Structure formats: C-alpha cells, structure tokens
Structure 1
Amino acid sequence: MEAGYQIPVMALILIGCMLTFTIVTTFMFRSQKTSADYYLAGRKVNSFINASAISSDYLSAASFLGVAGVAFLYGFDGIIYALGFFVGYIALLLFLASPLRKFGRYTVPDFVSERFHSKTARILGVIGVLFVSLFYMAPQMLGAGKVMGLLLNIDYEPSIIIIACIITFYVTVGGMKATTINQLVQFWILFGAMFLLAFIPFMVKGYTYSDVVSFLATFKGPDPVTGKIFDGAAYTGPAYWLTNLKDTLSLLLALMFGTAGLPHILVRFYTAPDGKAARRTVIYVLLLIGMFYILSPYVGHVIRYTYMQGESMDVSPHLMKWLAVNGKNLAVPVAGSHFGGQILLGIVVAGAFAAILSTVAGLIIACAGAIGHDLVVNIFNPDMPEQTRVKVARLSSILVGLLGIPLGFWAESMQIAVLVGLAFAIAASTFFPVLVMGVWWPRMTKNGACAGLTTGIIGSFFMILGKDLLPDFLQYKNPGGFVMLFSFLAIYVASKMEVSTKGESALPPDTQKVMAILHGPEKL
C-alpha cells in the first residue's frame, strides 16, 4: 500500500449507500412493456424531475471534476469551459427543445429520417450518435478510473472495468425510468458536494475571490511538490485561449452549440409530456447548472491558492502526490479532503461517482436507441414486436456499456474537460446544423441533411484524430466551430442544388405539415 494512504471510510460508506439505492431502484423499474418505456420512460417525466435528471446527465465528470481541474491548472483560461457549457442551454431553449418534443419521435436519427424520409440520413445519424457518445464516454471512464484509484488505491484498469460493469447493469435492467430516478438523486448529491466545496472556503475560511486572485497574481515560485516554477501573472492573465482568437472562437462555438447537438441530452426532451413541459424543463436546467458553473471555477482557483501555500494544505502525502500529478482531474476530491476531512471527501467522491454514473447511463441509453431502435428495428426489421424490441434495447445497452472499458483505457493520460470539449465539437458540427436547419428552414432537402451530417462526421474525424496530417492553419485545439460553419454551408448548398435540379419535388412532400407540427400550438 502506498505510503501516506488512508482508507476513506466515509467515502466508501456514502458510495455504498448510493449504489444500494441505484440497485434497488433498478429492480423496482425493471419491467418495460414497450420500447417507449425503455427509451423514454413512457413520456411521462415531469419538468422538475426531468430538469434534475438532465442536469445530472450534463454535469458529467467534465463539469464536476474537469471545470475545476482546468481552472486549477490554467487559471482564468479554464473559465471558458464553464461559460460555454452553460450558454449552450440557451441555444437549446431558443431553437430546439419544444419543436423536437412536438415532433414526438424516439431519437435524433428518428427526427432526421422522418423529417426527410431518408434511410441514408438515419444511418448517418446513427453513426453521428455513436461517434459523439463514445467520444463523450471516454472522459467519463477516465474520471471514474482516477477517482477510484484515489479512493481505493487500486490500479486504473481494474477501476474502469468495475465502473463499466456497474453502469451497464443498472441501465440494461432498469431502462430510462430507473435511470431518471437515479439521475435525480445523483444530481442533488453532486450539486450538494460542489456547494459545500464553495461554501466552506468562502463562508467559513473567508477566502473571497478577490483575495484568492490577488495572491495568485503576485505569486511566482516553486511548486510545493514538483518544484516547477509557478508564474501567477500568467495564471491570472490572458494566456493561451485568450490570446489565440482562432482557437478560442472555435472552442466557444463548439461548447455553446455542441450542447444543442448532444444525443443523450436531446433524447431526454422526448420524455417530457409535451412541448410546453420541454421548454419549462430547459428553464429549470438553466437555473440549476448556472449555479453550478458559478461555483466550480471558484473551487479550482481556491485549491490552487491553498496548494501554492504548501505548508497549509491539510491533506495526506498520498493526496498531495495525486494533486501534483493529476491536479487537472483531481483538484475537487483534494479540495474536499482539505476543507472538510474524511466527511467532505466522502461527499465529494460520491458526487464524482454520481456525475460519472448518470452521464454514462444517459450515453448508453442514447447509443442503445441508435443501435436498437434506429438501426436494428427501423432499417432491418420494422415489424419487430414490442417485447423483442425491448430485448434488442437491452442487448444494445450491454454492448455499448462494455465499450466503455477500452475507451477508458485509451483516455488514461488525457484531461477530462478538454476531451469532453472534443465530443462537443463533433455534436456542434454534426447534429446542431442539421437539427436547426431541419426545424427552421422549410426548404431544406434530403440531400442537404445528408451533406450536413457527412461534412460534420468526416470533418470532425479528420480534424481531431488526423490533426497532425493537416497544415498548421487547419490545426485547431478544438475544431468544432470551424467544422460547424462548413456543415451549415454544405446543407445550404446541397439543398439549393437539389431544388434547382428537381424543382419543388425535391422538398419532402409533407414539409408544410411538419412545420405546422414543429411550430404550431400544442395538440389538446
């Protein structure tokens, strides 16, 4: 056992209680008679519960661990993630929440296929959902592995396997109903943890933001563990993101509009009873996550403040070593140990697990819908009976859940918030343009939808995974905003060309009816 390691008894107790509740809830809601029950909880989730579940789904490891971690690591540059994550819900409220619920389908590929009567668009939508969701799942598993290692002092790989199996089990058995109830509880655990992390240093210790920033801005000296020189002026001043306009704008566009293209978030609006409830849900979400994103950067800066005063850090040598090596991902648990000892560390670690469990569960549901509902049922066997569809949904959930294991291994050395930002880049360049144009532009055609999806998928793939092969002017830290503009252009050009070639017959025959559904009054 590593020197200085102490068994976090309170954390183990709280996580045990949370997992017990999760398992009990899973078995309570294990019966799903239809695929709508499995994927959408019967479309009967009220606005407050849905908002809490969406917030839990959204406040992933990237938000709970990553935002504070980026603020700890990069200073004010880290706040850009909190800003982008929050503003995205405004775009979702204004452009998509109510129309998508009024359209009343199961998944994002469902909307694309039914809006343009195209199996090709559905298949491209499935590819997009898997691309976004699996890219998003990787940093969640990374967070799980890091926190599990901190908690139990075990290796990263076994941690990933344990977490993947737990989440796969409860999603597969309980479906969306159990997932929603679990996410409701998990949100208030993680929000309560972040609130305490901010409340104690601010109200009890008296660490005002101005005091923290003033100290860090003037500090220049060795890191208390690694010995590297810390330059406070660079930490609190305009560093990379604020001085590189190209990358900053692309990142902000990706974070803002990627939110409105995340499949696991969009699918939750189909669980609302109607469009009015969907709009109300988004307003609640804005209030909840707005409060969260005010707190998390402060926590990151406060832990940097206390860390640079090495002698005052009231944590074990084990945690100090973790902070020095993994501060980008583990500043929040260390802050819990410092400000509240074993009790607050336990609450914080439980909050981290809650964030990871809820988000991965939502991603599994979204991917299972893409594979089971969009691909297997709608492409290969539209006449499949409901009970068989539920079995397909469960098998799809198992497949996707276990994919989290290799994804977690791949992401081990990365930063959580940065990696999630790349998932937002794919969502912003793939789904947001197609959904917004499909909802608001009546003259969009099938070819336009396929062109937008193809541009987003291929453009994101090459600019993220093949970045080193591109010339310098096309290399972005986050290419989401750049590719998104080309996706919009591809939709417009392809639609115009199709209409000019085929005339009005190029438009879907039910366009006016669909527009009336999307933008008309609710059905009574």
Structure 2
Amino acid sequence: MEAGYQIPITALVLIGLMLAFTVVTTVMFRKQKTSADYYLAGRKVNSFINASAISSDYLSAASFLGVAGVAFLFGFDGIIYALGFFVGYIALLLFLASPLRKFGRYTVPDFVSERFHSKTARILGVVGVLFISLFYMAPQMLGAGKVMGLLLGMEYKTAIIVIALIITVYVTVGGMKGTTVNQLVQFWILFGAMFLLAFIPFVIKGYTYTDVVQFLASFKGPAPEAGKMFDGAAYTSPGFWLTSLKDTLSLLLALMFGTAGLPHILVRFYTAPDGKAARRTVIYVLLLIGMFYILSPYVGHVIRYIYLQGDTLGVSQHQMAWLADNGQNLAVPVAGSYFGGQILLGIVVAGAFAAILSTVAGLIIACAGAIGHDLVVNVFNPTMPEVSRVKVARVASVFVGLLGIPLGLWAENMQIAILVGLAFAIAASTFFPVLVMGVWWPRMTKNGACAGLVVGITGSFAMILGKDMLPTFLQFNNPGGFVMLVSFLAIYVASKLEVASKGEAALPHDTKEVMAILHGPERA
C-alpha cells in the first residue's frame, strides 16, 4: 500500500454489504438435486428477473468500466463499443432467442451436437465455449485487480487471487439459482451507480453534453498523462483510433454479432420457461442495457473534460495518479470520487464489483456446463447418475474459477473494452454463424457445422495472436467481422460439397422435425 494513502471506509462498508448478501443467497440456494437445477435454475426464471440477470451478466467490467474508459481514452471512436454492445441484442432477438429455447437443451454445444448428430461438433463447440469464455474472463479479472488497487492500495496480483477465490466459492456452492438472484441485485447496483454518475454532472452540475464536447473539441495542448499531447479536434471526430473503414466495420460486426454467440448469455435463455418468455426477456434486456449505454460514454467524456481542466477537487493524489496511468480502465471510479466523495465512490466500486462478480459467475457456469455436461457426461459417460453430474459440475466450476488467476495476471496492462472486443470476435466468428445457419438453413450439414467452428476458432486466433505476421490488408484491430464472413462461407461451401457427394443422405435425418420445433408453435 502506498504511503499516506487512506482507505475509503464508506466504500469498504458498501462492498462488504454486497458480499454479505452474496454469501447469504449462496447458502440459501446451495442444494441442487439435478444438473438442470445447477446449470439452468430448473428452467423457471421469469422474464423480468431473467432480463435483469442477463443484463448484469452482459454489463461486465467491459461495459461498466470499459465503455466509459474507452470513451475517456479515444473520444468519438470509443462510442462504437456502446453502439455495438447494444445492437447485438437486436440480432439475438430476431434470429436466435426463441428457437434456441424451443429446442430445449442445456448448452450451445448441445445444440450443434443434437442438430447435426455429431460428437465432433459437440467437442468443437466445447472448445469454442472455453476459448470465448476464458478470453472474456481475463478482462473481468483485470477490472477486479484495478478497482481493488484503487480502493485498498492492494497489489494487483493479490487482488486477482482474492476475487477469483470469492467468485469460485459462490458459483460452486450456489449454482445457477444462487447466481441468478445475485445477478438480479448486482444489476440494479451497477445500473444505479452509472445513473448517479450521469445524473450528478448533467442535472446538478449542469455539464451538458454540448458544453463538454465543445470544450474537448477546442482543447489542444499537453494532457495530464505524462509526455502526451491532447488534440481535441481529432478526439471528437471519427478516425482518432479507428483509422480505417475496414477496422471500423470489422469491430462493429464483431460487437454486434458476437453478442449473439456468447455462451454465458445464450445459456440464460434456456432458463426461461418457454420461447415466448425468451423473446420477452430479450425485449426487457434491450430496454435496460439501452439506458445504460446512453449514460456510460457521457461519463467517460465528462471525466476527460474535468481532467483537462485540472480540477481535482475531491480526488486524491493517489486516484489522480491512477487516472493518469490507468484512465482507460479507472475513469468511472475516479468520477465517483469527484462527484460524490466516499459515498459515491463506494457505490461505484460496488457497481464495478457487481459487474465483475456477475459476469465471471456466468462465464464459470457456461464453462462448467461445457466441461461437465457436454464433455464428461455426453461424450465420455452418458449414463452418469444425476447426483454424480452435479458433483462434476461443481468440480468443473472450481477448475474454471481458479483459471481466473493466471488470466488476470496475463491481462494486467491491457484495456478492458478492447480485450473483451476480442472475445466478441471469437464469438462472432464461431457460434453466431453456426447457430444462425443451423436454425434458419435446412440444407446445412454436419461437415458445414464443423467447418464453421474450425474456421471461426482457428481464423480468429490466428488473426488476433499472429496479427503482425499477416499482410497489411489482413491486419485488423478486431478481426471478428472479417472472420465471421469467412466462417459463413465455409459453412455454405462445406455443406454444398457434402450434399453433392452424398446426396440427401448428407442432411440430418430429422431435419424437418427439428425445423418444425424451432419455428413452429410452442410444444406443450
């Protein structure tokens, strides 16, 4: 801990109250008799509660800390994250929510396996779930480490270990029922925090968006970040960060359609009682997250406005140092301290913890389902009794939860929203094309599904990790949109070739029945 740093007691009390509620809820829902209880809360979650839980699951550190942070960092270009994250739910509503619930399985690999009667497709689906979820978990742990450092002056490594252990315990014990109740409360904490961060400067302080943007656009000179200059005209115009049309389109496509391929979001629609409830849930989610994404870019721009003015009233030297070094991730808690002192800082940090706890919990459940239900049970031991399946689910949850520690350490110096965007790139490239084509194209075959998953997984990883080795025209800040289009093409070509080779026998034998289930009236 830094010398002279005072721990904000009020903030700690609020965090403690939220964690105490989490513990009580976890203990209350610790008993799960079947794997459906553990993974899906018995499929009995009503639409509004489910929508709040999904919104909490979705509004991760990327949204609560990252969207305002990327707006603080990149100005106009940062708004694309708020736009893409929101529009993704429209694609989910139009294409997938109701048909997937009607199909009535547990997980995304369940769908691809049962739709095409292929263990290979199931295994590839498991690989996709793990890659997407672990890529998504890394920035959540990054957010946890940064916020704990701001709040307690705690070392980043120590903070990562503490948070990973807390989340692992409460998910492993409480399952989906406990996680859903916690996510419901956590959503309203994080939404309330963001609402206050926008309400106080806009209504009480009178910082209209017009005044803020005009000041930023006219500012040109040294920025508080050491050794950096700030060009306000570029900051408030397109092209400050996204310097090409191909980068902008690929990122936007990844954010939009990656949402409809996120395993921890899709699995929540299986908790709805029926397809109609799943559609209603998505509409509620659109309303809730839409309000959130209107507020968060404004908060990022307001804190940049205050930062450039040099007005640090209410912000400690410790927090200003964090803002100069980590404004990309910590603009939101510093805004809380500036506008509301310890109390609002406490609410904001509680909101950040709520976002992180909720999302990582959802990711652990999704990964546990992929490992326990899809791999251990359906591939290796289909006759396993229900009691053993719940035990496998708990062991898988512990394993995945503890993986958050190395992932958080790896992500320490990255930007939260940008890193999450790469998880969206993998989701948009793998599950979105396979699910959309599997739901809406009766001529899709097993080889088409496997080709789409292989191209999506390998293509997105190659273009993310091997970016510098590729030709310039194939280098993207986020390759999700490009690889997604290639994955769609691979599905189409592989399916056509298999039908040309085997005739109608290449199609799953129950295609007509499955299509009737997906698009017909709800089954009793």
Query: Same fold per TM (> 0.5)?
Result: yes
Shift of 1:241: 4.9
Q: Which runs of 5+ in 2 are unaligned?
A: none
Contact 2:133–2:363 at 8 Å: present in 1 too? yes
Equivalent residue for 2:153?
Answer: 153
* Other structure's SS at 1:105 match: coil
Equivalent residue for 2:57?
Answer: 57
Equivalent residue for 1:169?
Answer: 169
Q: For residues 403-418 of structure 1, what are the structure 2 equivalents within 5 Å?
A: 403-418=403-418
Equivalent residue for 2:519?
Answer: 519
Q: Which runs of 5+ in 1 are unaligned?
A: none
Q: For residues 54-453 of structure 1, what are the structure 2 equivalents within 5 Å?
A: 54-224=54-224, 226=226, 228-241=228-241, 243-453=243-453
Give the length in aligned residue pairs: 524
Contact 1:221–1:230 at 8 Å: present in 2 too? yes
Contact 2:225–2:325 at 8 Å: present in 1 too? no
* Other structure's SS at 1:260 match: helix
Equivalent residue for 1:497?
Answer: 497
1:25-54 deviations in Å (ceiling 9; x for gaps)? 001000000000000000000000000000
* Other structure's SS at 1:221 match: strand
TM-score by length of 1: 0.99
1:163-195 deviations in Å (ceiling 9; x for gaps)? 000000000000000000000000000000000
Q: Which amino acid aligns with 1:202?
A: F
Q: Which amino acid aligns with 2:51?
A: A
Contact 1:225–1:321 at 8 Å: present in 2 too? no
Shift of 1:240: 3.9
Q: Quote the Cα distance in structure 2 between the aligned partners of 1:104 and 1:44.
A: 13
Q: Quote the Cα distance in structure 2 between the aligned partners of 1:314 and 1:22.
A: 31
Equivalent residue for 2:48?
Answer: 48
Q: For residues 457-472 of structure 1, what are the structure 2 equivalents within 5 Å?
A: 457-472=457-472
Shift of 1:342: 0.4
Contact 2:69–2:327 at 8 Å: present in 1 too? yes
Shift of 1:312: 4.7
Shift of 1:235: 0.9
Deviates further, 309-318 or 297-306: 309-318
Shift of 1:223: 2.0
312 and 326 in structure 1: CA distance in 2 versus 1, 3 angstrom threshold: closer
1:81-107 deviations in Å (ceiling 9; x for gaps)? 000000000000000000000000000
Shift of 1:5: 2.1
227 and 4 in structure 1: CA distance in 2 versus 1, 3 angstrom threshold: farther
Contact 1:69–1:329 at 8 Å: present in 2 too? yes
Q: Quote the Cα distance in structure 1 between the aligned partners of 2:312 and 2:107.
A: 51
Shift of 1:3: 4.5
* Other structure's SS at 2:230 match: strand
Shift of 1:68: 0.1
Q: Quote the Cα distance in structure 1 between the aligned partners of 2:246 and 2:488.
A: 19
Deviates further, 39-48 or 229-238: 229-238
Equivalent residue for 2:456?
Answer: 456
466 and 224 in structure 1: CA distance in 2 versus 1, 3 angstrom threshold: closer
Q: Quote the Cα distance in structure 2 between the aligned partners of 1:35 and 1:54.
A: 20
Q: Quote the Cα distance in structure 2 between the aligned partners of 1:195 and 1:284.
A: 18
Deviates further, 309-318 or 101-110: 309-318
Q: Which amino acid aligns with 2:176?
A: M
1:96-138 deviations in Å (ceiling 9; x for gaps)? 0000000000000000000000000000000000000000000
TM-score by length of 2: 0.99
Q: Which amino acid aligns with 2:478?
A: N
483 and 225 in structure 1: CA distance in 2 versus 1, 3 angstrom threshold: closer
Q: Which amino acid aligns with 2:367?
A: C
Q: Quote the Cα distance in structure 2 between the aligned partners of 1:74 and 1:143.
A: 19
Contact 1:142–1:412 at 8 Å: present in 2 too? yes
Contact 1:225–1:320 at 8 Å: present in 2 too? no
Shift of 1:226: 2.3
Shift of 1:239: 2.2
Contact 2:225–2:324 at 8 Å: present in 1 too? yes
1:465-488 deviations in Å (ceiling 9; x for gaps)? 111221211111100000000100
Q: Quote the Cα distance in structure 1 between the aligned partners of 2:3 and 2:401.
A: 35
Q: Quote the Cα distance in structure 2 between the aligned partners of 1:40 and 1:407.
A: 26
Contact 1:269–1:278 at 8 Å: present in 2 too? yes
Q: Quote the Cα distance in structure 2 between the aligned partners of 1:476 and 1:142.
A: 23
Contact 1:241–1:247 at 8 Å: present in 2 too? no
Q: Quote the Cα distance in structure 1 between the aligned partners of 2:257 and 2:446.
A: 22
Contact 1:65–1:352 at 8 Å: present in 2 too? yes
Q: Quote the Cα distance in structure 2 between the aligned partners of 1:486 and 1:246.
A: 15
